Structure 1
Amino acid sequence: MTIQMHNPRANSADIHVNGRVVSEDSINREVQYHPAASLREARRRAATALVVRELLLDEAERQGLDEQNREGEETREEALIRQLLDKAVERPEPSDADCRQWFEANREKLRTPDQHEVSHILLPAPPDDAEARAEAQKKAKELIGQLQGDKSSFLSLAREHSLCPSAEEGGHLGVIGKGQTTPEFERALSRLPVGQVAEYPVETRFGYHVVLIHRRDEGRPLSYEEALPQIETYLVESVYRRAVSQYISILAGQAKIEGIDLDAATSPLVQ
């Protein structure tokens, strides 16, 4: 979606959605859930998410949905948003033909996950502290410089510099599979070299990581039957996300939004 602050000082102003306030403090708290390449981009994503939430809550309350109708550990806000989206957006089931077509077009993506035996050195930095992140990145690059061509000191450097509990084991994390670490760290593992220290540090929401992959066990292709639950879930969620995005765009087009510009007519609000 397109999101722009009105002026260079807009970060100091609250955003209003139909009279509901999205404060600077709330954006600062939300930033940690939206990792990005820059603090500006993280703030953009955080502000967008909060605007969307206020749009949905405002509409749920306008429709008089029951805030007490909660499932499991849902909060009041989660319950209202779930009820609103259940009422407004359908979840169509894909046909077998749809699933088979997607399978044939995406065979290379349908594999069991790779597994990696990994060691790392964590230089932590809060996602909203640009100075601390720059310092952590600098330190990570210095350590990589020491390790390039000679990884024998990795264990001692991890014990000295890493602020992860794995430092006691020389940074060794063991074998990591899908879903066992942050998405950004997991994505990086698949493209890093095996047997040598990565040339660049890996950035995550926690800071910067000096990474050494000891071994990669590549996944195998899935059969159609094995992949079918994954395909069905993907197709249902893909259609659902587009429908939710369209619905939120309609709400945004009808709303009074101040402090931030949303191109509600042409840009999706949910990505």
Structure 2
Amino acid sequence: MGAAFFPEVTVNGEVVPQALIAAEAQNHPAPREKPGLAWRAAARALAVRALLLQEARRRGLVAEPEALGAGLHETEEEALIRALVEAEAAAPTEGEIHAAWARDPSRFRSAPLWEVSHILCACDPQDEAARAAAQARAQALAARLSAEPGAFAGLAAKESDCGSRSAGGALGQLGPGDTVPEFEAALRRLAEGELTAEPVLTRHGWHLIRLDAQAEGRELPFEVVRPRLAEALEKAAWARAARDLVARLVAAAEVRGVDGLSVSSGSDEAAPRPSASN
């Protein structure tokens, strides 16, 4: 559907070029049979962007584009919008940062560590016959271990398809993210010394997992948590300021050719958030 099928978009009398809307529409997924949805989303986003730029220029703001990393820099318009939202967003105070931590210090802990052993019956999970055969083998091993838990290391040495068989199935210390999600999810349900009741399927095959020992993460002091918490509060303040600013500008604006313009219509895209270094 060509641009001629859509109305001209104006923001306080300023025309948003249809070529610009067409280019922006590429960033708004929509069903192929409904290209108008992408066009309208792009028009709303660019209308909000125009409102923010108009306000930045009305205030006489000047901003130098900042580096975004990996050789990328803000455009001049992005820098102006950042400066506008920075003028609206109040940085969190030390008292607010400390209060956010003090509400529940137990939320801030170091990662747990697990000592883990396993027996792997390898297969390609996409191969139905191989998956079933490996599962049957793993279930037979689980039955043997149920009757003789002390045989784990010996069975791992003889039966496991993982290189850890040379260590009786021991994988050593693991932390969050060190294994595939299915393995970690099963591991988190185990008590110390417990073996999974049923084999666990991952992309590598079927596992019998034993949690040999665990060290719970320790509660972190405020001094360690503060930088991360301050950054989170700053980003939340930035998002609130952008939403509130857009709401005020939309309420006072004369926008034509755009339906459903609201606080959520592009404010996130139009107002870049602060980086960790801000």
TM bracket, shorter-chain basis: 0.3 to 0.5
Q: When the two structures are superposed, what TM-score results if normalisation uses the length of structure 2? A: 0.47
Q: When the two structures are superposed, what TM-score results if normalisation uses the length of structure 1? A: 0.48
Select the structure of larger CA radius of gyration. 2
